[in-house]
Each structure stands twice: as structure tokens, then as C-alpha cells.
Amino acid sequence: MIDIQTLVLGPLETNCYIVSLPGKNDVVVIDPGDDITQLTAALAGKNVCGVLITHAHYDHILGLPALKDCSIYVHEDDAPAMTDATRNMAPADIAQPCVPATHTVKGGDSLSLAGIDFTVLHTPGHTLGGVCYQVGDILFTGDTLFAHGYGRTDLYGGNFSQLMQSLRKLLRMNVHIYPGHGEDAVFSREGN
């Protein structure tokens, strides 16, 4: 059992998750979006043991300047986008966070952070290095899968065929979905 705090951050209402074991101050942050003030307030008194990025689009990484002294994990194919506005789709009027990943991951990797074991699933299609992070029957999907849809494929690194393959993989799982966007952030999908 894990505790999950959801923050909806920035104008694109990106879901950021703060994950911990019950009663513990050690936390993992997933997809720190664009509201450093809200993010910093939510993390007051907590020890951030790692930051997991589901994909390196700007709306999922703009909170990184508040966490730049932490270990930051992203798929190796999305690592270049962490500091490249063309690849992370940052509009010209948005300040580029320019915080590189400290660690890269690939599908099948296991991470143990804040006493929680995460498994990395490579789910390309929305971006080259899109991933989901699984903890038991919980899946943090970023923009691979929303509560009522899936991420775009017409942006840099997007590929509709790859995304469909990734979605077929997820639809075989029996998990609770915590997506990258959407108020209705949790639902179960029965595996086939």
C-alpha cells in the first residue's frame, strides 16, 4: 500500500503525483508540472528521494528547478528533450527549465526509491521515450493513457503505430491508472 497525493499543476493541468509509504516523509515525485509554489508547499517537510519523469514534454518538467538537487529519472530516448525546447515542445514565451536528468532508464528497469519498488514500462508513441511506472496494481501513465483517451502523436517523437502498440500492452493489465492529465484520475481496467 502506498499513499498518493495528486497535484494538478499549470495551465495544462498536468497531474503531478507525490508517492510515499504510509506515515513516511520520504517521497517520490512523478511529473513535476508548472507550479513551483504549489509543488514546494506540498513538499514542505518531506524528503524527496527521486523524481520520475514519464516523458519530457515541458508541462511535465517545468517544476524541476525546485527539485534540481534531487535524482531525476527519464527514459534514455527522452533525456535530450529535458533541456531542448524544440523536443520538449516548450512555447517561446515559457522559460525553459534546463534541468537535465541525472539518471536514464529503459523498459524493464526496476527502481527502489523511498522504500517503494517501481518497474519501468517503455510505452513510446506520445514521445520516443514515454514510460509508465508501475507499483503493484498501480500504474502512473503520464500521457500514454488518460482517463478518457490517450496522448497526441503529432508532436516531436510521436508515432501513432507505436502508441497503439503501447496501449495494447496496457490494456492487458489489471491496474489502477493514474494518468498525466484529467480530473477523473483513477480507474481500473480489467486485463484480458
Residue of 168 and 148 predicted with greater confidence: 168
- Distance (Å, whole) CA 79 – CA 168: 25
Residue indicated by cell numbers 517545468: 62
Best CA proximity match to 51, nearest among 34, 67, 38, 40: 67
Residues 126/143, Cβ–Cβ less than 8 Å: yes
pLDDT given for residue 97 in this prediction: 66
pLDDT given for residue 191 in this prediction: 43
163: left (phi over 0), alpha (psi -120 to 50) or beta: alpha
Taking residue 126's Cβ as centre, other Cβ atoms within 10 Å add up to 28
pLDDT given for residue 5 in this prediction: 96
pLDDT in tens, 93-138: 877 767 899 999 999 999 999 999 999 999 999 999 999 999 999 9
pLDDT in tens, 35-46: 899 999 999 999
Query: For the chain, where are the alpha helices, taking DSSP H only?
Result: 36-42, 85-88, 160-171
Query: Does the pLDDT at position 183 exceed 70?
Result: no
pLDDT in tens, 71-91: 999 999 999 999 988 888 888
pLDDT given for residue 184 in this prediction: 52
Residue of 73 and 68 predicted with greater confidence: 73
What the chain holds in terms of domains, given with CATH numbers, is 3-189 (3.60.15.10)
- Distance (Å, whole) CA 68 – CA 38: 16
Mean pLDDT, rounded, of the chain? 90
pLDDT in tens, 152-162: 888 888 899 99
Taking residue 68's Cβ as centre, other Cβ atoms within 10 Å add up to 13
